[in-house]
Structure 1
């Protein structure tokens, strides 16, 4: 990149427990409606250190939009139009794998989509051709490496693998559903991983998930899942998530933008 060019902003989409970033030096907030409708909230323009950052609260601020009603297309389009080419999706998830208990940070490497009825592609309507993007690796390897390196340097307890099972919500899963997800190979379960990841891929954006386990998935313990338990895990683990973001954001900003996907 030419030194005279401005470093492109890194997009951070915050989920449950992350509606704001304390150390984000805010420059302005801007409403950014687009052809897909209204994003969940205003884009917050600022910086972490010297790195330009654009933050978006996935569920709005205050937290009010359930996962199945998030306008994922408007959110991703708004970030893209603002110049973002690398996106970190911060997700609260349930732990299925034995190493992924409450307050554990996870950088997953794969996902399985169990959602339904969501607007899940930009490629629909009056098209000139059908486009099938490659989605073999839903999370960008280079962006994952930046998060993993930051977590190791900070000595934050984390897992550098995981298959994210994206479910419809807003209800939590049954124990039988979690057993099915586990048989399918899922290590984590959440409600917002899709279609966010694929929409970013359709626009040629680097996308990576930074997950925080906030509860054991249904049936993994004998206890029911409570909001008190979830809030406690968020309080314990969110500091690690924020440290990783602050440590990695400069490196994420230096990643070369990907070429636009070609029609297949």
Structure 2
């Protein structure tokens, strides 16, 4: 199967110069996504771009319509979904300006809908390996090709926000839990991408040292924006390089078959309304 690359642009990434296409409005059973979808082509590959917070940054991390975003991208034909997100670093060696291709998550969000499934049709997918191994390797290669300093692997602590961490939280997450970076948006996004059987990977762009570092002041929005602006060209270069490294078809993680044997509700007991609602993301198994 030919790969169709979806890009979810986080803070500071609201467009992709060079992506030749048009903006299309869409809707889903979970409402409208954060913005229209930019559907086009880059490097000979079909690509779909969605600004996670909307152009102009109108959604905060807690109110991003994550289910609508993932469903809309799936409906648009996306097979490989790359999240480009700002993050704080808990490691000296993961410095502001670096890219981290994370491979694990810890969830500290609260109250966000985390699944497309629910009463009337229950499913349990594996999240042991929450990102696509093959797509993560492709993102790391594309980042290096774009001139970025890339760290392969790392644990992303997803916090609620929109406020930044306290020093106590930052130290616990770094020293006790062993996390590497902190952000506010990649969960439930990664969970939903797995349910939609999308290959998913996160490129976390380090903007600061959160608040744990004794030699750096606490993070501010001004710091984040300044680093994002400095990194914007490199992030867009990574996106432009992706088609050279992303390969369609099966992957080592088994993303495209995540729903095999995951649906628990007996066929005769499934709520027809729920089943119809789910067809946009799970029609293959329904």
Q: Cα distance 1:222–1:29, how it changes in 2: closer, same or farther (>3 A)?
A: closer
Q: Are 1:202 and 2:202 an aligned pair?
A: no
- C-alpha distance in structure 2 between counterparts of 1:116 and 1:76, whole Å: 19
Displacement over 6 Å in runs of 4+: none
Could you tell me how far apart the structure 2 residues matched to 1:252 and 1:36 are?
Answer: 29
How many positions carry a matched residue from both structures? 256
Task: Give the conservation status (yes or no) of the 8 Å contact 2:147–2:234.
Answer: no
TM superposition score normalised by structure 1: 0.92
* Partner in structure 1 of residue 67 of structure 2: 73
Q: Name the residue aligned to 2:173.
A: 181
Q: Cα deviation per residue 1:103-126 (whole Å; 9 max; x = unaligned)?
A: 111111111111010011011132
Q: What is the aligned counterpart of 1:33 among 27, 37, 49?
A: 27
Could you list the per-position Cα deviations for residues 144-183 of structure 1 after superposition, in whole angstroms to 9, with x for gaps in the alignment? 1111222334442121121000000111110111111112
* TM-score after normalising by structure 2: 0.85
- Pick from 212, 222, 247: which aligns with 1:219? 212
Measured in 2, the distance between the counterparts of 1:161 and 1:131 equals 28
Distance change in 2, residues 1:25/1:62 (3 Å): same
CA contact (8 A) 2:194 2:258 kept: no
**Aligned in 2, Cα 1:86/1:194: closer, same or farther, shift over 3 Å?**
same
Q: Distance in 2 between matches of 1:228 and 1:43?
A: 28
Q: Deviations over 1:23-49 (max 9, x none)?
A: 1112x2111111001100001101112
CA offsets 1:47-86 (integer angstroms, 9 cap, x no match): 1121110000100111110000001000000011111111
Q: Is the 8 A contact 2:14 2:55 kept in 1?
A: yes
1:253 shift after superposition: 5.3
**Which residue does the alignment assign to 1:259?**
257
Q: Give the corresponding residue for 1:82.
A: 76
Q: Please, what is the CA RMSD of the aligned residues? A: 1.6
Gaps of 5+ in 2: 263-286
Q: Do the aligned partners of 2:125 and 2:258 also contact (CA within 8 Å) in 1?
A: no
Which 10-residue stretch deviates more, 177-186 or 51-60?
177-186
| Distance (whole Å) between structure 1 residues aligned to residue 8 and residue 28 of structure 2 | 17
1:24-63 matches, within 5 Å, as 24-26=19-21, 28-63=22-57
Secondary structure of residue in 1 paired with 2:182 = strand
Distance 2:37 2:145 in 1: 30
CA distance in structure 2 between the aligned counterparts of 1:242 and 1:11, rounded to whole angstroms: 13
